[in-house]
Amino acid sequence: MRVTLSAAVTADGYMDDDSPRRLIISTPGDWEAVYRLRAAHDAILVGAETLRRDDPSLLLRDEAVRMRRAREGRRPDIAKVTLTHSGRLSPQLRFFTAGDADRYVFSQRNLPEIQNLANVIYSEAPINAKHIVTELEKRGVEHLMVEGGAKILRMFLDEGMADTLRLAVNPNLRPGTRGGARFEPGLPDSIPHTREIVDGMEVTIWTLHPDTTARDFGFLQRAIDEGRKCTPGPTSYSVGAVVVTADGRIFAGYTHETSPTHHAEQEAIAKALAAGAALRGAAMYSSMEPCSQRASEPESCTQLIIRHGFARVVFALYEPDCFVCCRGALTLREAGIDVRVYPSLAAGVWEANAHLKR
């Protein structure tokens, strides 16, 4: 998933003030730019406090974009996402009543009053950005836009789960309040960024993680092709994997290639180790999410990847809950590994696993 953070602040860094009325920071031209950016995403996320304070509709404003989405068989508006710790969400909020969109609510509490209005994703553990991204990816979201509030934006930044940050500053607005929320990214100048003026707003766009889609597609397609070499079995997925080391060496493998208990990731790693390759900082391309629990081996593929110090993991298909309930992607993210998922390539993985029912 690619995650974009978007925020507008006053000249002294505030996103709002302590008055009961909403503080309008962006100029009309900047709002238009934000609406265009929003249309390039699959989902938009704001925190529950923002919903309660501002009651935004979070809709697409370009009717041509909405019509195109409808022709493509998608909902006219992009998905709406929020998270709540208190559970205080009124069914009357425009988040629930406005537009035609999928709606997701992350919560640590049961929310019976909105269970028919949104898909409630319940979590016993504290909700964080890694969990949100993983669960939304499983539901087909590939591009997420996060618009606030300040705590939510900071959470994504601090967890390293943001790829792009767009910050618009209104140099002519300085309320001088101490009651509103502040948002100051504090990013060093060494991070690639551009600056421009948009209808009087000073807009800075930081590239926190470069877009590696083209490169990832090439290696991931090779991993999917490796998976086609597997001999289909009733109790295992046909998976292919490609290891790309930090110095550019490439090693490929597929499920059960040399052992009836080896997964594809094990096979590729074993080849790399046999060749004396250094795996720290390497990338693992696997056609399917690496397993997180094993019965036939002492280590899962997720544990193996973490132990060898891989920096990135890329796959096309989350493992279905067929044999076990896999949580490989989340575990890898929690270990600080960059995980990228490309569901547009998942059809090839399903073709290699046609022997198993979906």
Look at the block and give the residue holding tokens 């998608």.
74
Q: What is the pLDDT of residue 203?
A: 98
Q: Is the CB of residue 350 less than 8 Å from the CB of residue 235? A: no
Q: Taking 60 as the threshold, does the pLDDT of residue 178 lie above it?
A: no
Q: Where in the chain is the domain with CATH 3.40.140.10?
A: 213-352
Average pLDDT of span 279-288: 98
CATH number of 2-207: 3.40.430.10
pLDDT digits (tens, 9 = 90+) for 237-266: 999 999 999 999 999 999 999 999 999 999
- State residue 179's pLDDT score: 60
The token pair at 189 is 């100048």
What's the N-to-C CA distance of the chain in angstroms?
23
Indicate whether 22 pLDDT > 90: no
pLDDT confidence of residue 325: 78
Given a cut of 60, is residue 177 above it in pLDDT?
Answer: no
Per the CB < 8 A criterion, the answer to whether 132 and 152 are in contact is no
Q: Residue 11's pLDDT is what? A: 92
Whether the Cβ atoms of residue 169 and residue 62 lie closer than 8 Å to each other:
no
What pLDDT score does 326 carry?
A: 86
pLDDT value, residue 324: 63
pLDDT above 70: percentage of residues in the chain: 96
With bands split at pLDDT 50, 70 and 90, how would you rate the model's confidence at 174?
confident
Q: How far apart are CA 69 and CA 349, in angstroms?
A: 26
Say yes or no to pLDDT of 186 above 60.
yes
> Of 8-12, 120-124, 310-314, 319-323, where does mean pLDDT reach its minimum?
319-323
pLDDT of 175 reads 64
pLDDT tens for 32-42 read 999 999 999 99
Pairing of strands 283-288, 240-244: antiparallel
CB under 8 Å to 132, separation ≥6 — which residues?
45, 81, 83, 106
Q: What is the pLDDT of residues 3-13, one digit of tens each?
A: 999 999 999 89
Domain with CATH 3.40.430.10 in the chain: 2-207
Average pLDDT of the segment spanning 119-125: 93
pLDDT top residue among 271 and 320: 271
Reported pTM: 0.93
- The CATH H-level (homologous superfamily) assignment of domain 213-352 is Cytidine Deaminase, domain 2 (3.40.140.10)
* 74 or 180, greater pLDDT: 74
Whether pLDDT at 104 is above 80: yes
